[in-house]
Amino acid sequence: MSIYPSRELLPRRASFRPGKNIAIEVRGDVAPGLARVFHLGEVVAEIDWRSDDLLLPVLPEGGYSVEVGDLTTAIEVAAEPRRRLRYGFVASYAPDKDIAGLTDTVRRLHLSGVQFYDWAYRHADLMGGGESYRDALDQPIALATVRALVGAVQQTGARALGYAAVYAIGPKEWDGWQHQALLTATGAPYGLGDFLFILDPAAPDWLEHFTADLAAATAALGFDGYHLDQYGYPKRAQRADGVAVDVGASFVTLIEAVRDALPKAHLVFNNVNDFPTRRAAATRQDAVYIEPWAPQLTLQHLADTVTRARAFGDGKPVVLAAYQHIYDSAPADAADRATALTMATLHSHGATQLLTGEADRLLCDPYYVRNHRMEASTAALLKRWYDFLVAHDELLMPPELTDVTNSYAGPYNNEIDVSYARAEHSETATAGKVWRRIVADGDRLILHLINLVGQTDTLWDAARAAPADPGPATLRFRLSGTRVPRVRVADPDGLGRLVELPVAVDGDFATADLPAPAVWQVVVVEN
């Protein structure tokens, strides 16, 4: 039984180019009627839709929401799609693979990149298995399926990135590479159990082999680029020849070598537990991607990690592979609330999450083959939130957005703040409070209000209680002139687009009453 509704709007592409017509599949039994296109809550187009695809006019760059009756979706129009990374995954390549399930996910959630996890024959011999083989963990792989998936993802306007571990050697290949081994203080090679051994990723002979393997895979399979993986250790080690190795520096050398070998490739390097983000973010790759583990256990940890990554990344998109293990141990509703709070934290700080892929799967384990089949409630949550993310991109993702909470909020500043009848707010993620953050975008102020009322802790990968009601809320802000600013509010679990609020003026200040929050509200104040 499908977890998706029989009636839905599905953009034909995950991202559209400026100057091109936009087509949206109207799936199921949908009554003809008026289709409306919104940009940040404003109607920019109306179409009398009757049958077949909904065809929209040419639109300028930006994010848009689309409504046909009670059905909604979002679309992105972008000249340079690499400026964002809404990341998904695929992890199965059997000969009878259903291609449409993955491409529906890419279109439904507007994924701009898909990681092809563990498609290769061996970690140190990507293409050595012929056209069909069992991978290193005995999963069946058909390269015809890989090619079909790559082509299908590209047809949706997304990028297909092949997974490649940057320094991992299997036992069968180890004899040829152990001269470059990274060793512990007692002389044993570092490894991942007895499954893989680790060498210096900057070793010249390894770089020659690794980049040639990637180039061969690109030619044979058509990948747009690569997801370059590591395991987070060691940070420093001795090589087999006695040379001391700074592994972070070796990663930088490797990334730059791959860029030189594949100048057009889309490259994403995994900074495991934030190592070595500062150095790797400055390389010629296309995103700042971080896989958080302990001690990064709270929502505030995620927020702080994203803030650092954006500072280091020089405008690159930031993605966190925050695996929601909680789906394996908690009911879907409690796990969905954990995911919502994780997404609220990441999206409000200008980052996205690698979480979903295949036709209906979630990541709950670093070995992506061990994924979780989502329930209908989770599918509906993700569709709402990814639509919201795309439609409100310019309020969330641009690197020039600036956190001004410390200079605008509170009684000393007295510029703008919010108060609740039955709850306190906080500048940090604090259980039992509303987490309030203020961002400046030129003359426009954007408030992010994340509801942690009713929570007893702020762990991001833990079952979450239903959010409690903090009571009526009042937004109060200082006027800068005679013109009354415009106030609008949006909620991914509400209408899903910005709606205008009445504003009352009292001397030098103005106020607006905010609707009750669910998990996350975005409030926009602009002159």
- Could you report the per-residue pLDDT of 152-197, keeping only the tens digit for each? 999 999 999 999 999 999 999 999 999 999 999 999 999 998 889 9
Give the count of beta carbons closer than 10 Å to the beta carbon of residue 316: 22
Cα–Cα distance for residue pair 217/459, rounded to 1 Å: 40
Cα–Cα distance for residue pair 359/326, rounded to 1 Å: 20
- Confidence category of residue 215, pLDDT binned at 50, 70, 90: very high
Give the count of beta carbons closer than 10 Å to the beta carbon of residue 406: 11
Cα–Cα distance for residue pair 270/219, rounded to 1 Å: 24
Q: What's residue 417's pLDDT?
A: 97
Cα–Cα distance for residue pair 38/45, rounded to 1 Å: 7
Query: Model confidence over 2-23: pLDDT tens digits?
Result: 999 999 999 999 999 999 989 9
Cα–Cα distance for residue pair 408/423, rounded to 1 Å: 20
* pLDDT, the chain, mean: 97
Span between the terminal Cα atoms of the chain, in Å: 50
Q: What's residue 193's pLDDT?
A: 84
Q: What's residue 81's pLDDT?
A: 85
- Confidence category of residue 124, pLDDT binned at 50, 70, 90: very high
Beta pairing, strands 113-116 & 87-90 = parallel
- Integer CA distances (angstroms), 304 to 124, 288, 308, 348, 351, in order: 35, 14, 6, 12, 11
Q: What's residue 527's pLDDT?
A: 83
Q: What angle do CA 369, 289, 111 make, to 5 degrees?
A: 65
- Is the bond into 276 cis (omega within 30 degrees of 0)? yes
Beta pairing, strands 159-165 & 225-229 = parallel
Residue-wise DSSP of 65-134: EEEETTEEEEEEE-S-GGG---EEEE--B-TT--HHHHHHHHHHHT-SEEEETT-SSBTTBTTTT-SEEE
Cα–Cα distance for residue pair 418/271, rounded to 1 Å: 36
On whether the CB atoms of residues 282 and 312 are closer than 8 A, the answer is yes
φ, ψ (nearest 5 deg) of residue 216: -65, -40
Q: Three-state SS across 313-373?
A: CCCCCEEECCCCHHHHCCCHHHHHHHHHHHHHHHHHCCEEECCEECCCEEECCCCCCCEEE
Backbone dihedral region of 346: left (phi > 0), alpha (psi from -120 to 50 degrees) or beta?
alpha
Q: What's residue 22's pLDDT?
A: 96
Give the count of beta carbons closer than 10 Å to the beta carbon of residue 342: 21
- Confidence category of residue 408, pLDDT binned at 50, 70, 90: very high
Query: Model confidence over 449-507: pLDDT tens digits?
Result: 999 999 999 999 999 999 999 999 999 999 998 899 999 999 999 999 999 999 999 99
Q: Whole-prediction pTM value?
A: 0.97
Provide the b/e sequence for 368-397 (b: ≥16 CB within 10 Å). Answer: beebbebbeebbebbbbbbbbbbbbbbbbb
Q: What's residue 144's pLDDT?
A: 98
Portion of the chain with pLDDT greater than 70, in percent: 100
Q: What's residue 195's pLDDT?
A: 87
- Confidence category of residue 357, pLDDT binned at 50, 70, 90: very high
Query: Model confidence over 327-350: pLDDT tens digits?
Result: 999 999 999 999 999 999 999 999
Cα–Cα distance for residue pair 107/52, rounded to 1 Å: 17
Residue owning tokens 């979903």: 356
Average pLDDT score over residue span 118-147: 96
Q: What's residue 254's pLDDT?
A: 98
Spacing of C-alpha 386 from chain mean position: 9
Residue-wise DSSP of 14-78: SSB-TTS-EEEEEESS---EEEEEEETTEEEEEEEE-SSSEEEPP--SEEEEEEETTEEEEEEE-
Rg value, the chain, Cα = 24
Query: Model confidence over 496-523: pLDDT tens digits?
Result: 999 999 999 999 999 999 998 899 999 9
Provide the b/e sequence for 17-47 (b: ≥16 CB within 10 Å). Answer: eeeeebbbbbeeebeeeebebbbbbeeebeb
Instruction: Evaluate the CA torsion angle 235, 239, 242, 244 in order and state its sign.
Output: negative
Query: Model confidence over 18-73: pLDDT tens digits?
Result: 999 899 999 999 999 999 999 999 999 999 999 999 999 999 999 999 999 999 99
Spacing of C-alpha 185 from chain mean position: 38
Pick the closest to residue 459 from 294, 245, 312 (CA basis): 294
Residues in the chain: 527
Cα–Cα distance for residue pair 335/358, rounded to 1 Å: 19
Cα–Cα distance for residue pair 38/54, rounded to 1 Å: 15
- Using DSSP's 3-state secondary structure scheme, residue 225 falls into strand
Structural domains of the chain in order of their starting residue, each with its CATH number:
8-77 (2.60.40.10), 81-164+202-233+246-396 (3.20.20.80), 402-526 (2.60.40.1180)
